[in-house]
Amino acid sequence: MRRPHRRAFLLGAGALALGFPRRVLASELTAELRVSSTSLKVGDEIDFELEVTRAGGGSVPDPELPSGLAEGFEITSRFASGSGFAFSMGGGGRSRTSHSSMGLTAVALKGGTYKLSFTVDDAGTKVTSNVVEVVVAAQAPASTEPAVAAIGKPTEARGDVFVWCASNKSKAYIGEQLEYRLDVYERSLLSSVTLRTPPNFADFYTYDLPEGEAVVEEVAGVPYRVRPGMRRALFPQKAGILVVGAPEITIGRRRRDRGAAVAIEVQPLPAKGQPPGFSPNNVGSFTVTAKIDRDTVEVGQPFTWTVEISGEGNVALLDPGPWPDIPGVRRYDPKIDSQMKSETKVTGRRTYSFLIIPEAPGALKLPAIALNYFDPEAERYAVARGEALVVEVRGTAVVPDEAALPDRAPGDASDATDLGLRPILAASTLPREPPPKPVLTPSRWGWSMVALPTLAATIWGGGALWRKFGPDDLARRRAAQRRRRRERLDAAREAVDSGEGFHVALANLLHDLAVGRVGDQGMGLPRPELMRMLASKGTPTIELRKLEDLLERCDAARFAAQRGTVDERRDMLDDALSLVERSSLGREPNDRGES
Amino acid sequence: MSAARWLRRALVMALLLTAVPARADAVDDAFAEGNAAADQAHWSAAVEAYERAGALLAQPSSLLSYNLGTAYAQLGDLGHATFHLRQALDFRGSPTTEVAEAARSNLGIVRRRAELAAATTSALIDRPQTWWDLVVETLRAPGVGWLALVCGIVAVGLFGVERLRSAAGARPTRWATSAFWLLAATWALAGGLHALSLRADRTAPRAVAVPAATEARDRPGMHGTSTWSVAGGAQVRIVDRTPGWVLVRLAGGIEGWLPESAVADLSRPFGQAQGR
């Protein structure tokens, strides 16, 4: 097939494939709304399923949300959404359907009857689904009347989740320990249960108890998972019908459940047998122990007497009553420490530590401490008694040291002597000299301390640089040689007129010149040897002769007293200068000793 | 120059000379008033007069701090007594030997009373001073700073001389090497410890808790949970500040927030410390 014909065939086939089904199936679109329940109450969940189907296949528009849904429901999730098609052959024909569906979960917010349906837009034509009537019953308002104290477990199953509150007793005495529990019963694992309104414990002193683990229980034959929400130990603080306020939980985002208020009948403590001045907080079961930190002390030496009350009950609020007077000692108010322990019940320990200073020698008797309490189990008053202790006090009685008293009365004229304080210093004038300004302030000190290692490092670095880049031994030797020649030349110049020392200085200069030319090996050699060595070093003969001539003239002047005239000496100096400045003898050898 | 002119100049000079003592008299008057009240054991009046003298003087005075601290001690105000007696020992107040001895003696008595009060009220107080505290106190002294600095200077000088001698070809002597290392070690050790003590004073200044007992909280503000209580006269270090509150640390390391008015900063000059 030729290319233009093939293209025309493909375009025609595509147009048929796209246009034909649309034209045929446009009138066969159906919409259907299904609900999980048509009767529910506020707070319950409901599932909606919206499905659009087109018989014969083809594109299917997406369904829109049902009208009226927003008035009384809140959508919490979409659980299914999708589209597809089915194709079947048989029965002498063939069928093809396309569909689009959407699933919603919603929570009923308010009561009423709702007629729900949804529409789809099929290329400008509105197609409406079936109408579903959903009846939502309004939730009965929570009762403000407190429920009768709930004890034990629930007996009636209430939906898939509910809250249950109870106390272990419905009747108690003031100060008696009760246990309050709040549990959430749930049939499915709902992780989003929160305590919206906690119970109100206005008339109770409470302690948290361990909540424990979740368990599975059956309520009227229905299995529930029981999640412990709260455990509290309650101590009623007054007589009468005391109510623990009703809690409320939130399930999910909108659904709520309210527990029952718990009423407890609290009785006053029995008057019969009640000790005078008895505190209603001393309810429970207690023991008293006493101990001392040492058996023997000196007079005036403090020791600690510790009384400990422990047991089951609200130990932190215990009233031990007045402490007994102990003659012959000075006793201070006790240091009190309470430690509570919450397990299945609240227990605790309350410690009173007395600092005692004996003032007289002998056997000091610390009386037994008695604690009156009411035992609610036995419903009678009892006494817990500690042991009496004896401390041996040594030494002699002394007048109490009032200086140690922290609560002495101020303003007493004899205070100064009693306290042992030195008296005030009554000068006629106050010194007015301004405080001396310290030379070494912390700032200056710090900078100076930092500057010292910096200076040391600079010195060290400078030395290292000098060693690296400064003159070496050869250069130093040359410099010394130049300096020495200059000095001798200056001495010779100064002695030209007088002649005194002229020849010595000139001879030394010339000898130094020769030795400098041949190096260290020329030192100490006699003159003929030195001249031979100079010759072997390549010194021109004319310079050698000139040097030898000058040296001989110097010798003649030094040893034969032939100083000559000033002009002669000036000529000698000029000759020596020409040797120093222009001859090979005056040139400095390089590192290899070459001129 | 005429006699009238000389007379005018003399009058002006007299006026100038008498201007300064006028303020000094007010200080002395308040001081004398405090002394007179103290003589009659009217300690509240004495405290009031001494405080007035301190406000007028506006410079540290060990004598005034001593008398004020002693008057507070007589009143049983152990926090303020501790603070002022400690200030009496501060060198900036130029304490004489007599004042220093009396202040140390009274401070010891006040300290014993504060410890006893803390033991009976469950409040915390810093531990008693030990030889280690004396060492730390000594390290803070300017003399240690001078010692470290002089040792460092001599060491650097010796080092420089030795380098010069070495450059000249001389070999280092044994005594010079030993002396250098000894001086350098003294510089490093004394200087390091002195620097640490100065840093501690700068970053965490010392202060004294002044009320009889103050609840320390776990965060600044009255809504913070009370965690412990500090006794009056306890020496603390201020490690942090927010407006109105300071985070203090006791010698044992326990920390808590106190109202700023409950502590008096020992590093501040007289009249500028809080808690007065």
The 10s digit of each residue's pLDDT in A81-123 is 666 665 555 444 556 778 888 888 777 777 888 888 888 888 7
Asked if the structure places residue A120 within a domain, the reply is yes
More confidently predicted of B21 and A451: A451
With a CB cutoff of 8 Å and minimum separation 6, the contacts of A478 are A588
List chain A residues with CB under 8 Å of B155.
452, 456
Q: Do A424 and B166 touch (CB under 8 A)?
A: no
Same domain, A95 and A125: yes
Q: Is the CB of residue A45 less than 8 Å from the CB of residue A221? A: no
Angle between helices A502-518 and A527-536 (to 10 degrees): 40
Q: Which residues of A219-242 are buried (b: 16+ CB within 10 A; e: fewer)?
A: beeeebbbbbbbbbbbbbbeeeeb
pLDDT at B20 over 60: no
Q: The domain at B206-265 falls in which architecture?
A: Roll (2.30)
Question: Which residues form the domain of A83?
Answer: 23-137
Of A370, A394, A418, which marks where a domain is finished?
Answer: A394
Q: Which residues of A281-309 are buried (b: 16+ CB within 10 A; e: fewer)?
A: bbbbbbebebebeeeebebbebbebbbbb
Measured from the Cβ of residue A168, the count of other Cβ atoms closer than 10 Å reads 14
Rounded to 10 degrees, what is the CA torsion of A412, A418, A420, A423? 40
Same domain, A116 and A174: no
- Which residue is associated with the tokens 């005034």? B64
CA–chain centroid gap for A498, Å, is 96
Same domain, A305 and A358: yes
Of A367, A394, A421, which marks where a domain is finished?
Answer: A394
What are the residue boundaries of the structural domains of chain B, listed by start? 3-121, 134-202, 206-265
Q: Do A415 and B122 touch (CB under 8 A)?
A: no
Asked if the structure places residue A564 within a domain, the reply is yes
Q: Do B63 and A430 touch (CB under 8 A)?
A: yes
Asked if the structure places residue A433 within a domain, the reply is no
Say which DSSP state B93 is in: G
The pLDDT score that the predictor gives to residue A25 is: 42
Asked if the structure places residue A435 within a domain, the reply is no
The pLDDT score that the predictor gives to residue A329 is: 86
Mean pLDDT over each residue of chain A, to the nearest integer: 80
Q: Is the CB of residue A135 less than 8 Å from the CB of residue A38? A: yes
pLDDT at A590 over 70: no
CA contacts within 13 A on the Cβ side of A405: 14
For residue B183, which of B135, B226, B150, B144 has the smallest C-alpha distance?
Answer: B150
Q: Do A440 and B53 touch (CB under 8 A)?
A: no
Tens of pLDDT, residue by residue over A41-78, are 776 778 888 888 887 767 788 777 887 787 788 776 77
Asked if the structure places residue A114 within a domain, the reply is yes
pLDDT at B23 over 80: no
Domain count along chain A: 4
Residue of A nearest to B68 (CA): A424
List chain B residues with CB under 8 Å of A426.
35, 38-39
Tens of pLDDT, residue by residue over A325-377, are 888 888 877 888 888 888 888 899 999 888 888 888 889 999 999 999 999 99
The pLDDT score that the predictor gives to residue A376 is: 92
Two tokens at B29? Answer: 């008057």
pLDDT at B246 over 60: yes
Q: Do A422 and B70 touch (CB under 8 A)?
A: yes
Residue of A nearest to B32 (CA): A428
Same domain, A259 and A346: no
pLDDT at A565 over 50: yes
* Euclidean distance between CA atoms A532 and A518, whole angstroms: 10
Same domain, A130 and A168: no
With a CB cutoff of 8 Å and minimum separation 6, the contacts of A241 are A146, A263, A264, A265, A266
Q: Is the CB of residue A95 less than 8 Å from the CB of residue A109? A: no
**Residue B276 banded pLDDT, cuts 50, 70, 90:** very low
User: What amino acid occupies position B171?
Assistant: R
Tens of pLDDT, residue by residue over A428-447, are 788 777 766 778 888 899 99
Residue of B nearest to A471 (CA): B167
* Euclidean distance between CA atoms A324 and B230, whole angstroms: 30
The pLDDT score that the predictor gives to residue A474 is: 76
Tens of pLDDT, residue by residue over B93-134, are 888 899 999 999 999 889 988 888 887 777 889 887 778 777
Same domain, A53 and A110: yes
* Euclidean distance between CA atoms A53 and A164, whole angstroms: 47
**Residue A294 banded pLDDT, cuts 50, 70, 90:** confident
* Euclidean distance between CA atoms B132 and B197, whole angstroms: 13
pLDDT at B48 over 90: yes
Asked if the structure places residue A422 within a domain, the reply is no
The pLDDT score that the predictor gives to residue B49 is: 93
The pLDDT score that the predictor gives to residue B270 is: 55
List chain B residues with CB under 8 Å of A337.
122
Q: Can you give the three-state secondary structure of A212-232, one letter per residue?
A: CCCEEEEECCEEEEEEEEEEE
The pLDDT score that the predictor gives to residue A402 is: 46
Asked if the structure places residue A450 within a domain, the reply is no
Residue of B nearest to A401 (CA): B113
Same domain, A546 and A516: yes
Q: The domain at B3-121 falls in which architecture?
A: Alpha Horseshoe (1.25)
The pLDDT score that the predictor gives to residue B180 is: 93
Same domain, A47 and A123: yes
Q: A133-142, A179-188, B164-173, B183-192 — which one is most confidently predicted on average?
A: B183-192
pLDDT at A287 over 90: yes
Tens of pLDDT, residue by residue over A302-330, are 888 999 999 999 888 888 888 888 888 88
Same domain, A108 and A194: no
A523-532, long-range: CB < 8 A, 24+ apart: A527/A551
Host H or E run for residue B113: helix B97-121
Helix (H, G, I), strand (E, B) or coil at A590: coil
CB pairs under 8 A between A and B: 151
Of A97, A122, A137, which marks where a domain is finished?
Answer: A137
**Percentage of chain A surpassing pLDDT 90?**
13
Residue of B nearest to A458 (CA): B160
* Euclidean distance between CA atoms A399 and A396, whole angstroms: 10
pLDDT at A513 over 80: yes
Q: Which of A419, A432, A463 sits opposite B109 (nearest CB)?
A: A419
Same domain, A186 and A116: no
* Euclidean distance between CA atoms B250 and A239, whole angstroms: 47
Question: First and final CA of chain A: distance in angstroms?
Answer: 105
Residue to substitute from B149, B154, B158, B272, interface A, most A β-carbons within 10 A? B149
More confidently predicted of B272 and A571: A571
Asked if the structure places residue A415 within a domain, the reply is no
List chain A residues with CB under 8 Å of B27.
430
The pLDDT score that the predictor gives to residue A408 is: 42
Q: Do A459 and B42 touch (CB under 8 A)?
A: no
Mean pLDDT over each residue of chain B, to the nearest integer: 85
Measured from the Cβ of residue B73, the count of other Cβ atoms closer than 10 Å reads 27
**Percentage of chain A surpassing pLDDT 70?**
83
ipTM above 0.90, yes or no: no
The pLDDT score that the predictor gives to residue A41 is: 75
* Euclidean distance between CA atoms A395 and A469, whole angstroms: 86
